[in-house]
Amino acid sequence: MAAVDATYLAVIPARGGSKGIPGKNGRVVAGRSLLAWSVAHARASARIDRVVVSTDAEDLAELARQAGAEVPFLRPAALATDDAPTEPAVIHAVEQLAADGYRPDAVVLLQPTSPVRLPGRIDRAVAQYEAEGADSLVGVTEIHPFTWRATPEGAAASYDPAHRPRRQDLAPEDRRFVENGSIYITATDLLLRTGCRLGGRVALHPMDPVEGIDVDDETHLVAVEALLGVLPSAEETTA
């Protein structure tokens, strides 16, 4: 649980390799690289203490520095493979900074493949994290509650089709959300102890559907280009 005067480190992981879109994190959309959009969002936050990019690629490191982020080290190659999880890279960044005497109370993980965040989003997430006394927080998007899954016996619904409830009549506990990959907040102690970005008391931070795009192919880049071209800029921090 963080105090109101807690310190927050933004870590933006951006490895050089990408199978789906070569050079993805450096691709320019709406005038900025995907990486630079997340840097801009972090720098616009009133609550972020430092903005650090973790990358194994010198060209991305230079893009990050130009956007205003710190790149005090390069990520080891073993933490930048196609199947390497994100948490070890974030922990590596935290430990490198700790060796130089800096240890934040919490880490804000911003993935560059989720470049659409509305103004003030990070500050609102931090405020919720603190207000709920959470140990971690995850950005989510609400999904339609009428979901289906395939089974050996045929399709199975998550609700009774003969008594379809109205969406507005759903109880709070019946609402469903999906992680959108845009923002995570984790108490540093929890992250280092468990090696996981989520744990303890987890807060769900609902975000606008437009913020839920995770860039994974060229079609997503087109959609992101259109959205970022009409939404308020990252530097407009008021809600």
Tens of pLDDT along the chain (239 residues) come to: 566 689 999 999 998 876 667 788 999 998 899 999 999 999 999 999 999 999 999 999 999 999 999 999 999 989 988 888 999 999 999 999 999 999 999 999 999 999 999 999 999 999 999 999 999 999 999 988 888 999 999 999 888 888 887 777 777 877 889 999 999 999 999 999 999 999 999 999 999 999 988 888 788 888 888 888 888 866 654 43
The partner residues of 205 in beta bridges, in order of sequence, read: 139
- Beta strand spans in 95-164 (E): 106-110, 136-143, 148-151, 154-157
CA angle, residues 128, 132, 138, in degrees to nearest 5: 55
User: How far, in whole angstroms, is CA 102 from its chain's centroid?
Assistant: 22
Report domain extents, the chain. Answer: 8-142+177-230
Residues paired with 28 in a beta bridge? 33
Say which CATH architecture domain 8-142+177-230 belongs to: Alpha-Beta Complex (3.90)
